Structure 1
Amino acid sequence: MKKTKILFPFLFSLLLVISGCSKDDDEVVDGTDDITGGEEPEVPTPQDPEALDLSQYSSGQKVMMQTFYWDVEPRFEWWNNLSDKVEGWADAGIDRIWLPVATKGQSGGYSMGYDPSDYFDFGEYDQHGTVPTRFGTREELENLIAKSHDLGLEVIADIVLNHNSGGGLEYNPYREKDTYTLFNEENGNASGMFNRNYEHFHPNDVSQSDEGDLFFSEQDVDHDVPYVQGWLWKNENSVAKYYKNEMGFDGWRFDYVKGFGTWVIEDWMNEVGGFAVGENFDGNADVLVDWVDATGVSAFDFAAFYKMEEAFDRFDDLNYLDGNTLRKINPDKAVTFVANHDTEKDENEDNRIATENKMKAYAYILTHDGYPTIFYSDYENEAFNEEIKQLIEIHNSLAVGDVQVLHVDNDEYLMKREGNAENPGLILYISTGSTTKRRNVQTNWNNVTLLDYSGNSTYTPTSDENGMVTIEAPANGYSIYSITK
């Protein structure tokens, strides 16, 4: 990993610090006055503090990349595009890449894969108007997986188990009408593997409906049917085992898990194992906790996503960052994120984090516990790229130890990672105020000069013999402090 590159001027000018719009200018943080409400202690500052070599530290965890956005372009070239990028991602500190649904959907060359038709057509059969999928051919996908493995990256498959699409029309006696539930070599399943008919969808003589929410009712897959279980995860040539043993996938992103029982995930994982995360699209942390407890796998932390959206956008109040999330209750099972293919395609402002606030949100997820995910479009945005790389490096090196919120109000949020005997940890300071902020905090670092490893502030204070120190956040931005050599 490259060394941290942060430039510090030889001399620092005096900063005029204004309290801005904080509601608590005279409140106390860890027993000390807010610098906006009292005088800053006179502490000598070295002129040229030397940054730690972050490559010598490890948090024991890296970061996942979501490798797509909705309706990626150019069509038929996406696997090759990703093959050109994985080396750079590995160098930046990524350890897993989450691919889009890799098999043929009803929309053929326009499908993003969430309308699954043939679970075994990775871009080799001529159906739905195309041989390659929207993303390319099977050979190109296999080349991408092999290259990723050579770089030490795990490859995560996006799996849609709830519903199917693109089958042929047949009479369905359970619905007493024709339904598009016939999947065979002539009707949406050219591979001939996992052929299906109306008996394999709800309702039938086994069960009437799923335990979960209905989404695509007429083609809602019935997991209670033994034939379906065999083809999806139990047989030696099942979807789960074929993807793992033949294609080389290392783990799973389960789509729309609200649509079926948690036992489906349990059974799948018992057969093939690997890393897994579920898309339980719900902002209620208790719902996510219950699902994680029932399945034993991770979930995307939609509760944390919505708390960030509320804090930075909807209510402009950082108190929401201290709300209830999966990360706070079970960080080992929380996969955090700032954006994904669904939030970015939706124009609903309450379902996305505004562009101008995204880097504060990335600073949040890349310093707190949980397993962070980077969204392809954000990483590839030239305005964000270097900043995200720096945050990944900080996450992979210094984001260690228990999380302690030191202070939070409407426009300030301070959080400390405790570190350990080998790692100093860090302190995150986010401000949405219109002026520079400073605040006196308690640290674990006695008589040591600190610096902002994000590079957003040039202020380099020195802690006293008790670990008290005043740190700074730029206007409407963030800093991430730790010790120097």
Structure 2
Amino acid sequence: MKCIFTTAVAIFFLWGCANDMDVTEQEVQNNNSNTNRAIPQSGGSVSTARSAGTKVMMQAFYWDVPSGGTWWNTVSGKLPSWASAGIDAVWLPPATKAQNGGYSMGYDPFDYFDFGSYNQMGSIETRFGSLAEIQSLISTAHSNDLSVIADIVVNHNSGGSSQSNPYTGGSTWTDFQPASGLFARSYNDFHPNNVHTADAGSFGGFPDLCHDKTYVQDWLYNNSNSIAKYYKNTMGFDGWRFDFVKGFEPWVVKNFKNAVGGFTVGEYWDGNAATLETWANSAEASAFDFACYYKMRDALANNDLTQLNGDMLLKRNAYRAVTFVANHDTDEIYTNKILAYAYILTHEGYPCIFYRDYEEWLDKNKLNNLIWIHNNKALGNTTYLYADNDEYVARRNGSPGIIVYINNSDSWQERWVDTNWASTTIKDFTGNSAWEPVTQADTWVKVQAPPHGYTIWSVK
């Protein structure tokens, strides 16, 4: 997430930065004025088991997508073609009303239950559209067997009114009275409070939710009308992307996921693979593989493909690794970006494609080809065969498996490699090479790759 902070007369402003359980109308006993409010009925399609995590995820937004309430419809129109290409999940931006209303990218959350139906924060719709439009998006996704991943921002809040705060001796912007009537908050629910002064980390000066408070836990995942259960059972979301998880303990993600199930990934922005692994294991969730991202960035920027042999979460625990080449916050792989996609779409982990790369900036046909190879050929564990400044070769050992050959030099390259196929005709499934060599009886074969390109070989 991205943000800038200003004091307001000062308003907080962000640029941008398993169990299935039925929702009921029962009243929830807690210590706030919104105890007995009924759950607003969305009519969204209820989520069922889908394949998120097995194919390829699409990040279905970028920073500052067009405002004006058109984005949900834009995404809806693309869902059938994405599904046909081999996408199995779409990650949406934070979908509820934030402090900056119809201009907000959603990372300054105010009312977790307003999907574009209440007149507050200066608008009825969110930046992305109305409640009816996101309902339609989710329904369309499900009819195309796509999972829908909700972006969950629970480290901080924004848009509260000023109130006297006995824990600070002054006033804080911690009086939240959302129009939905659900999850009202006060200074008791933020740091500092009577439990402790801080948790793992605050963000941008915004009021920092205290996850050790029972009241906060109840509204996040314990109550029958909690965020987790409402999003899953009423709206129909299938999984969760947690924002800025450095700001709170991993058990928060674990408890949320355990309350409703679903694919879960956290944004732990750190290039240390061991740190990512520790967080993922503690949260019992996947993590975005920033270690892989930075290795790819350095490999391509410095003309040193040996970086691709470095430590990454996908090599420590591929089951927990969500790999990516760019996202709404960071896009530092400028040169030969398609080679980075060739890497993540042929290696272990769960690849995520960035909307603008797919729809605007790169060759969609090449990306669709790589998605098909990922879903149909790139199986099994990985053996790393060769790397130098310009060349990188690896083998996936499943059935049928592949040989991927990445060449970042200015000329065609050839190399003998050891395959898993004896006396077998193979071909390049990218179409970049017309060779159809036959592997030797000892499984070795010569393959080639074009300049600043790649080939991916498998049985014909």
TM-score (norm 1): 0.83
Instruction: Select 1:390's aligned residue among 369, 389, 405.
Output: 369
Write the distance in 1 (CA, Å) between the matches of 2:197 and 2:336: 46
User: How far 1:267 moved relative to its partner?
Assistant: 1.4
Aligned residue number for residue 101 of structure 2: 108
Write the distance in 2 (CA, Å) between the matches of 1:228 and 1:254: 16
Aligned residue number for residue 302 of structure 1: 290
Aligned residue number for residue 87 of structure 2: 94
Write the distance in 2 (CA, Å) between the matches of 1:93 and 1:262: 31
Residue 431 in structure 1 maps to residue 407 in structure 2: yes
User: How far 1:217 moved relative to its partner?
Assistant: 4.3
Task: Confirm or deny: 8 A CA contact 1:336 1:372 kept in the other structure.
Answer: yes
1:43-122 map, 5 Å: 61-122=54-115
User: How far 1:61 moved relative to its partner?
Assistant: 2.9
Residue 371 in structure 1 maps to residue 350 in structure 2: yes
Instruction: Select 2:234's aligned residue among 246, 268, 290.
Output: 246
Task: Confirm or deny: 8 A CA contact 1:429 1:479 kept in the other structure.
Answer: yes
1:69-468 map, 5 Å: 69-184=62-177, 189-210=178-199, 212-313=200-301, 315-344=302-331, 352-354=332-334, 356-381=335-360, 383-419=362-398, 423-468=399-444
Residue 483 in structure 1 maps to residue 435 in structure 2: no
Q: What are the superposed Cα offsets for residues 333-357 of structure 1, whole Å, 9 maximum, x if unpaired?
A: 100000100013xxxxxxx111x32
User: How far 1:262 moved relative to its partner?
Assistant: 1.0
Two-structure CA RMSD over aligned residues (Å): 1.3
Aligned residue number for residue 7 of structure 2: none
Task: Confirm or deny: 8 A CA contact 2:338 2:362 kept in the other structure.
Answer: no
Task: Confirm or deny: 8 A CA contact 2:141 2:148 kept in the other structure.
Answer: yes
Q: What are the superposed Cα offsets for residues 273-298 of structure 1, whole Å, 9 maximum, x if unpaired?
A: 11100000000001101001111110
Q: Letter of the 1:465 partner, please give it.
A: A
Q: What are the superposed Cα offsets for residues 205-232 of structure 1, whole Å, 9 maximum, x if unpaired?
A: 122111x122144500001111111111
Write the distance in 2 (CA, Å) between the matches of 1:377 and 1:137: 23
User: How far 1:424 moved relative to its partner?
Assistant: 1.7
Task: Confirm or deny: 8 A CA contact 2:156 2:202 kept in the other structure.
Answer: no
Q: Letter of the 2:154 partner, please give it.
A: L
Write the distance in 1 (CA, Å) between the matches of 2:206 and 2:436: 63
Q: Name the % identity.
A: 53
Task: Confirm or deny: 8 A CA contact 2:221 2:229 kept in the other structure.
Answer: yes
Write the distance in 2 (CA, Å) between the matches of 1:412 and 1:353: 18
Write the distance in 1 (CA, Å) between the matches of 2:158 and 2:419: 56
TM-score (norm 2): 0.87
Write the distance in 2 (CA, Å) between the matches of 1:172 and 1:140: 39
Q: Letter of the 2:170 partner, please give it.
A: K
User: How far 1:390 moved relative to its partner?
Assistant: 0.3
Q: Letter of the 2:387 partner, please give it.
A: V
Q: What are the superposed Cα offsets for residues 350-371 of structure 1, whole Å, 9 maximum, x if unpaired?
A: xx111x3211000000000000
Which sections of structure 1, spanning at least 5 residues, go unmatched?
Answer: 1-59, 345-351
Which sections of structure 2, spanning at least 5 residues, go unmatched?
Answer: 1-52
Task: Confirm or deny: 8 A CA contact 1:201 1:218 kept in the other structure.
Answer: no
Q: Letter of the 1:414 partner, please give it.
A: V
State the secondary structure of the residue aligned to 1:416: strand
Structure scoring higher RCO (CA < 8 A, sep ≥ 6) equals 1
Write the distance in 1 (CA, Å) between the matches of 2:112 and 2:141: 22
Q: Letter of the 1:193 partner, please give it.
A: L
Write the distance in 1 (CA, Å) between the matches of 2:455 and 2:98: 45
Write the distance in 1 (CA, Å) between the matches of 2:218 and 2:322: 29
Write the distance in 1 (CA, Å) between the matches of 2:194 and 2:206: 15
Write the distance in 1 (CA, Å) between the matches of 2:127 and 2:265: 24
Write the distance in 2 (CA, Å) between the matches of 1:222 and 1:74: 32
State the secondary structure of the residue aligned to 2:162: strand
